[in-house]
Structure 1
């Protein structure tokens, strides 16, 4: 490497000497005097010729290799790489500084965004509370209307059940007590079974299908008068269980 450096320095000194010789020749050419009348024109023509010759020389000139010594080329390559490395390091420092500035800007923007988001949430909450307060009278009014409707439905239900009970008591009364005692008495020691009215049977069927629609069947007990059961089955009001004859259900009219 030391020999290569010395050789490169010698070549540079040789080129520098050639440049000095060319400069001396130009200085000598520049000392020629020209007539005052044609001084400006002659100077321009001289410059034009010099530039033309210089242009032709550069066009005809081929790139010259500084040296064919591999050590010299290696040193030149290393120097060029050091310059490139230095430039890249400077660029990296610039980019890092720019990234740092961008990170700071991003943090400020995120902080501003969080503040705006909190403010927006607070405003939305205030608006929601205001809307809720504004809707309360309407909700209270709707609730009162609903309660009035429920009260009317309960009253109508009582009237309907009362009318149904009167109709059933008039047209489908229970059998006479003596007949009931004769048919239901099993022995002289056992008391008679108390039969329930047709209205009570219907209420049991209705309550069963409404409370447990997945299991609407009820068990037919001894308190159910058989003619009532036969009447409900024949009229299609009730259905007997397909596998258990002692169970029945209300027809699903709804």
Structure 2
């Protein structure tokens, strides 16, 4: 029940008949209106059907419709509001009925508005939760960004240089270890030919010529590695008498070294790192 219904007059029972005077008055008014309608109907019947022109029938109908609407508009402008009845009981019953209809319509509107308001509150709560979650993510990312900026500021060029120098030192130390291990392995498994040295000494004593000092396999490989790394555009080694031929042939046979395509006296190390 709406808040203003307590101000309405007492209910008039639908089962109890209205006062006789009010009923008689309403019946008389209805009969008068009915007589007016009959008179209008008889006038329309007597006027007979109106003949339409052969051309522009649609235009003619539209013009007649405009005339009818204009006449109706003028009648409504001239007409003054009429009271249903002067009887207070009739007016009270009609007013109460209209107020009850309005109250029902307003209650329906209120119920609909409340339902929409409830739904909007739920949607607003969901949106607020989503917004809070997004704000937390933004705050976390902003905090992380500030931390990275601080770290980047503290990470100076001197520190970068020191890190690179330390890594380079470790690489060089590791390289020396590998070369040392390679030298020990080659010295153990690929020693210089003793007989060749002895024969060279004998020939030196007989002919008086200087003997050729052969280069170890370790030294040959180290030269080839250095040439490949320092001068990659020209990594070839020119073969000389102190390069023992069996070592050279072994390197070529096992694919460790390659000959120059135009000069067989020049070899290079296979680029295993590429």
Q: TM-score of the superposition, structure 1-length normalised? A: 0.44
